[in-house]
């Protein structure tokens, strides 16, 4: 090897070590950034025969797609579970002490006691107080349900705004990747940012990707709607400020196609929007229907012929209208502090059935107590037994919420575990290992020392040559 060739080799080695050291230093600096994919400085031979350094970014297309799918499923499941947990809280927690069925059972028991001693005014007062508890339970639970729907609607609006922002930002980095790939420049930083945006988008809506020329990505929702193709598609939603049982929320549209709500406790929803739609449009309205059916049941049970008795619909046109559980009240004619007489429950509110004013008259009270044991017909749209006693129907309503929540909890654990495993596998491929990077730096140090010795040897040889030449 000539002296000039030796110097060129040393110079090339210095240059390559410098580039490799820079890549290793960048890896170490970003070791804690989960959105950063490890870079590798690979020595390659250029067309001229010289050794050059190429920077390669660690990635795994299959794991990345699985990670996006796991994120969207887990986000949808967590969102649904949060809403169902709120519904369970409305019922009072583990013992369901605030559930209408709990107050109905207490009303039934005290009514039977009053029927056995119909001359006891204090027992009449107790039964009326129990009836007020039943009505209040239906009112507060129904109001809390509509509040839950309104909050879900507000969260949908927030998610849509965020999704539009993310898609706009995605276009910026996707364009950088396309242009950089076509020009042959380093696009690894833009790829990191684009992948980070993909994970954020997938938590809002399920997304699949299609890679095209120059690393261009097209995005589609889980049901095939175009989300991004060269430009971001418009996502629209008009929030509804106030919710009642009769109000239907607006749809979310992506590129003009309505987003479908999730179904089931192990929800099919991918992303938070589909799960929020499931809560707002399916879970909460179904529970509302059950509450309305309970309200209709107790009004019917205590009616006096065609007249409403102990419970009144408070001006609602029909007992089948949505929102009956929100307006149901106890008849003020039997409430003492509103000027009423609780003993009318024994004798009749609209009609005097106790014409002889007998202290032992209990015919009406026994009829009410017997009604608790008689099966009633309920609307199948309530999604539980269409024929049952009022107490069984109330208990089934609690069971429906608990069954749905339990299924969502189990599915949430499974999907969370799958997401954890997927992210772990992806990080094993793309994350920075400080041990490996430090070991690489030691190797580079040795390479630098070898190049330095080569330069020193050449320097000595040139000095000796000059000295010999005089």
For the question of whether the overall pTM of this predicted structure is more than 0.95, the answer is no
Long-range contacts of 28-36 (CB under 8 A, 24+ apart): 28/432, 28/434, 28/437, 28/438, 30/432, 31/431, 31/432, 31/434, 31/437, 34/427, 34/431, 35/192, 35/193, 35/195, 35/196, 35/199, 36/192, 36/432
- Beta bridge partners of residue 312, listed in sequence order: 329
Distances (CA, A) of 113 to 108, 118, 343, 372, 373: 9, 8, 14, 14, 16
Tell me the C-alpha distance between 271 and 204, whole Å. Answer: 4
pLDDT of the chain along its 470 residues, tens only?
676 777 777 777 777 788 888 888 888 888 888 889 898 888 777 666 666 778 888 889 899 999 999 999 999 999 999 999 999 999 987 788 899 999 999 999 999 999 999 999 999 999 999 999 999 999 999 999 999 999 999 999 999 999 999 999 999 999 999 999 999 888 999 999 999 999 999 999 999 999 999 999 999 998 899 999 999 999 999 999 899 999 999 999 999 999 999 999 999 999 999 999 999 999 999 999 999 999 999 999 999 989 999 999 988 999 999 999 999 999 999 999 999 999 999 999 999 999 999 999 999 999 999 999 999 999 999 999 899 999 999 999 999 999 999 999 999 999 999 999 999 999 999 888 888 888 888 888 887 888 778 778 878 888 888 888 76
Token pair for 325: 């559980």
Query: Of 144, 84, 138, nearest to 390 (Cα)?
Result: 138
Query: Of 274, 296, 270, nearest to 283 (Cα)?
Result: 274
Eight-state DSSP code of residue 249 = P
């Amino acid at each position: 090897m000539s002296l000039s060739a030796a110097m060129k080799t040393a110079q090339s080695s210095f240059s390559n070590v410098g580039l490799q050291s820079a890549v290793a230093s960048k890896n170490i600096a970003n070791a804690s950034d989960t959105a950063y994919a490890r870079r590798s400085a690979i020595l390659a031979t250029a067309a001229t025969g010289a050794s050059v350094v190429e920077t390669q970014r660690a990635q795994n297309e299959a794991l990345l797609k699985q990670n996006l799918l796991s994120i969207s499923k887990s986000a949808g499941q967590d969102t649904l579970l949060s809403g169902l947990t709120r519904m369970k809280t409305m019922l009072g927690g583990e013992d369901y002490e605030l559930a209408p069925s709990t107050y109905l059972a207490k009303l039934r028991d005290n009514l039977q006691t009053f029927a056995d001693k119909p001359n006891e005014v204090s027992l009449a007062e107790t039964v009326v107080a129990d009836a007020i508890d039943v009505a209040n339970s239906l009112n507060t639970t129904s109001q809390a349900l509509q509040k839950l729907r309104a909050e879900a609607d507000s969260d949908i609006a927030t998610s849509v705004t965020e999704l539009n922002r993310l898609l706009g930002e995605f276009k910026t980095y996707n364009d950088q990747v396309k242009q950089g790939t076509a020009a042959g420049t380093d696009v690894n930083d833009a790829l990191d940012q684009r992948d980070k945006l993909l994970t954020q988008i997938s938590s809002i809506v399920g997304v699949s990707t299609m890679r095209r020329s120059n690393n261009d990505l097209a995005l589609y929702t889980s049901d095939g709607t175009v989300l991004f193709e060269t430009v971001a598609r418009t996502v629209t939603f008009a929030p509804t400020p106030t919710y009642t049982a009769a109000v239907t929320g607006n749809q979310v549209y992506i590129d003009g196609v309505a987003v479908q709500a999730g179904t089931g406790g192990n929800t099919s929803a991918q992303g938070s929007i589909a799960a929020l739609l499931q809560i707002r449009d399916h879970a909460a309205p179904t529970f509302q229907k059950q509450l309305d059916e309970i309200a209709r049941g107790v009004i019917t049970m205590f009616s006096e012929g065609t007249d409403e008795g102990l419970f009144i619909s408070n001006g609602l046109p029909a007992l089948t209208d949505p929102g009956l559980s929100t307006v149901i009240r106890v008849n003020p004619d039997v409430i003492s502090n509103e000027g009423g007489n609780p003993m009318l429950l024994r004798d009749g509110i609209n009609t005097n059935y106790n014409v002889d004013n007998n202290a032992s008259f209990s015919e009406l009270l026994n009829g009410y107590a017997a009604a608790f044991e008689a099966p009633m017909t309920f609307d199948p749209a309530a999604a539980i037994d269409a024929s049952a006693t009022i107490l069984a129907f109330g208990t089934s309503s609690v069971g429906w919420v608990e069954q749905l929540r339990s299924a969502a909890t189990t599915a949430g654990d499974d999907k969370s575990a799958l997401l954890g495993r997927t992210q772990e596998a992806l990080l094993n491929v793309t994350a920075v290992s400080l041990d490996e990077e430090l070991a690489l730096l030691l190797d580079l140090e040795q390479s630098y020392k070898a190049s330095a010795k080569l330069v020193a040897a050449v320097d000595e040889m040139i000095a000796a040559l000059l000295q010999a030449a005089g």
